[in-house]
Structure 1
Amino acid sequence: MSQDGIRSSLRSRILHLQPREFDVLALDIFRYQARFNPLYSEYVQHLGINPETVGKLTQIPFLPIQFFKSHEIRTGDVPAAEVIFQSSGTTGQVASRHFLYDAGLYKDLSLSIFEKHYGPLNQYHILALLPSYLERSNSSLVYMMQHFISCSDSPFSGFYLHNAEEMLETVKRLVLAPDGRKILLLGVTFALLDLAESNRDLRFMGNAKNVIIMDTGGMKGRREELLREEVHDILCDAFGVQEIHSEYGMTELLSQGYSQGGGLFRPGTSMRVLLREVNDPFSISDHNVGKSKTGGINVIDLGNLDTCSFIETQDLGRFGKEDHTFYVMGRFDNSDIRGCNLMVL
């Protein structure tokens, strides 16, 4: 079969993936990328690995995420990128770039992942408080939220740059005159904290049963870094809610994980988190190794079909008690602070 034929088949399998099929599809994508991705192929060869002998997920080599800072990661003979996502970073840091060759796949996957966690988007009003991201034209988070806002088909859905007062008036209006939809207030961490400390009355949201507060992470140098638990305690108290929801995603990934409280993330169908030993990146586990066991997070993202689906991140995590769930515990000391999520020890 030609490269185009293999890709077409894999793309269809990703979009129709059943959980029990994940391992087989991941291995097929590994062999596809080890053959048609020049950089990843060289990396695999350098490690002395024969792709045909790899029979389980823990044997797959994971590409260090830093390569997204120095290379255009590309698998196969793909057309020109439709979009180039770029990480925010801070002054002096080299930004990661993720070339999006198949916007349709990304939109379909991100929509499917959200709806499997939260239900149909057309049952939501989406209010996105993303000031720093809106100031850039190449944010993957803004791109995804533009798609979600469009799919919600709500006249109240939209972005808010610095107009928090207008956003709160919109929330109050929707709370006082409920129309059967839920209200998703999604914000970057520093903006939610600014709102929480603004002396505005926010606790009316906790009395409404249809309001979800979701933290996308990120201080972006605007505030002192805090533990996720500290941030969520502040936000819960300010908004009068029991739980703060969270999204786990990054520039280098096209799939997301979501937490509906307590910091426990559930990955999307096209995503799987494995853990590697902190001092041995090639010792990898894909099952619960104990509540206290912390390791480096490796992500399998089948959505990265045209780049690389096997990413060694600089996040630290541990497994949850339920299969494939995970917590994010922090960052490796020598890694850049990522702008997309709050990941601090």
Structure 2
Amino acid sequence: MELSSNKSFSEQRNHLRQQIIELQPSGFSDLALQIFRYQAANNPVYNSYLTNLNVDISRVQQLTDIPFLPIQFFKYHPVTSGRLSDPVVTFESSGTTQIKGIPPVASRHTLFDAELYKSVSKRIFEEHYGALDNFHILALLPSYLERNNSSLVYMLDHFIKETGSELSGFYLHNTNDMLERLRMLAANPDGKKILLMGVTFALLDLAESDTDLSFLVNIPDLQIMDTGGMKGRRQELLREEVHDILTNAFGTKVIHSEYGMTELLSQAYSNGHGIFNPGYSMRVLLRDVNDPFSVYDHNITASKTGGVNVVDLANLDTCSFIETQDLGRFGQQKDSFYIMGRFDNSDIRGCNLMVI
């Protein structure tokens, strides 16, 4: 597989970028195959991986034919596609877990095109929840804010600015200020939706504190969203256990969730009960737990559990085909999925990754 020339690369990239921005559901598979061929030629790490697998690019005709790059490559190699300019930022995973005394290694994902990331993530959110300028977003993300290279913080900073609300903002440890803003909104509703988005351990700490949260039932448009992750602060729990605690404490019927990670620029969202729907630029496939090259799509029975493979078209400048360490199964609705847990001996990290 021969790397393309710089001129050809630039023309191809701009064409693919525009297609990602304008993508409609019916064009997903075709665009994914175009991006596969582009990255097979222009991504040295992925190119080497495909070469070692003896992959014949011409025989890859559908999503399930595409080899997915194991996510661990982001720990040890610069995964980039093409000759790109200086990066905007390099995101890093939290790397909070050690396995058998081995120091954790953070995954690194380089962002070269901030406007593409912002455009894709905004469209995904608004297609699930409505216009951002109709929200107040209160982000309770202490562990993320203690780092300056979190992809979640980068995305939410953009969302908060897009709300145009003076009440939107981040909170590190000042939950009292956040609660005062919520009380103000409870007493003086303005018709906007309110999204309280928090890392799991921080939401649990608040739910189990002595703080009186009963006033939250007076906010009809309040949505609580769990981004997942204990970050080594608390014992890992089943999602169902966490959401039972949170619904009781916050007086809401469901807990929303976000599925994302350092290595992905697209997101999936759940409106409750652990059922995720991927954004327009993202698809989840499953692989056999004993054979990583046996990949199947949503046509297979929903009860089957497999390793989660993610197609993320927004990863145009890195790799769009990621073999994660998550275990999942498909939901009844087309493209929907559940996250069941993680493979043994994999890092416990990321957004909404609760062990079983």
- TM-score normalised by length of structure 1: 0.98
How well do the aligned residues superpose, as a CA RMSD in angstroms? Answer: 1.0
Partner amino acid for 2:181?
T
CA-CA distance at 1:163 after TM superposition: 0.7
CA-CA distance at 1:99 after TM superposition: 0.5
Q: Show the counterpart of 1:213.
A: 224
Q: How far apart in 1 are the matches of 2:145 and 2:70?
A: 28
Q: Show the counterpart of 2:163.
A: 152
Q: How far apart in 2 are the matches of 1:126 and 1:342?
A: 22
Q: How far apart in 2 are the matches of 1:339 and 1:223?
A: 15
Percent identical across equivalent pairs?
A: 65
Q: Show the counterpart of 2:111.
A: 100
Q: Show the counterpart of 2:33.
A: 27
Q: Show the counterpart of 1:245.
A: 256
Q: Quick one: which of 272, 276, 291 aligns to 1:265? A: 276
Q: Show the counterpart of 2:4.
A: none
* C-alpha distance after superposition, 1:277-325 (max 9, x if no partner): 1111011111142232100000000000000000000000000001100
Q: How many residues align?
A: 345
Q: Show the counterpart of 2:19.
A: 13
Q: Show the counterpart of 1:45.
A: 51
Q: How far apart in 2 are the matches of 1:117 and 1:203?
A: 28
Match of 2:224, SS? strand
Q: Show the counterpart of 1:54.
A: 60
Q: Show the counterpart of 1:84.
A: 90
Q: Give the 5 Å matches for 1:115-194.
A: 115-194=126-205
Counterpart contact for 1:183–1:211, Cα < 8 Å: yes
Q: Quick one: which of 285, 291, 301 aligns to 2:312? A: 301
Partner amino acid for 1:298?
N
Q: How far apart in 2 are the matches of 1:158 and 1:114?
A: 17
* C-alpha distance after superposition, 1:155-211 (max 9, x if no partner): 000001001111011011112111110110000000000000012122332342110
Counterpart contact for 2:339–2:353, Cα < 8 Å: no
Partner amino acid for 1:23?
S
* C-alpha distance after superposition, 1:98-141 (max 9, x if no partner): 00011110011001100000000000000000001101000000
* C-alpha distance after superposition, 1:199-236 (max 9, x if no partner): 21223323421100000001001000000000000000
Partner amino acid for 1:152?
T
Partner amino acid for 2:129?
Y
Q: Within the alignment, does 1:36 sit opposite 2:42 as a pair?
A: yes
CA-CA distance at 1:148 after TM superposition: 0.4
Q: Within the alignment, does 1:314 sit opposite 2:325 as a pair?
A: yes
Q: Quick one: which of 193, 215, 237 aligns to 1:204? A: 215
- TM-score normalised by length of structure 2: 0.95
Q: How far apart in 1 are the matches of 2:349 and 2:16?
A: 30
Deviation beyond 3 Å, 4+ runs, structure 1? none
Q: How far apart in 2 are the matches of 1:149 and 1:288?
A: 38
CA-CA distance at 1:45 after TM superposition: 1.2
Unaligned runs of 5+ in 1: none
Q: How far apart in 2 are the matches of 1:111 and 1:42?
A: 33
Shift of the 68–318 alpha-carbon distance from structure 1 to 2, 3 Å rule, reads same
Counterpart contact for 2:342–2:353, Cα < 8 Å: no
Counterpart contact for 1:288–1:319, Cα < 8 Å: no
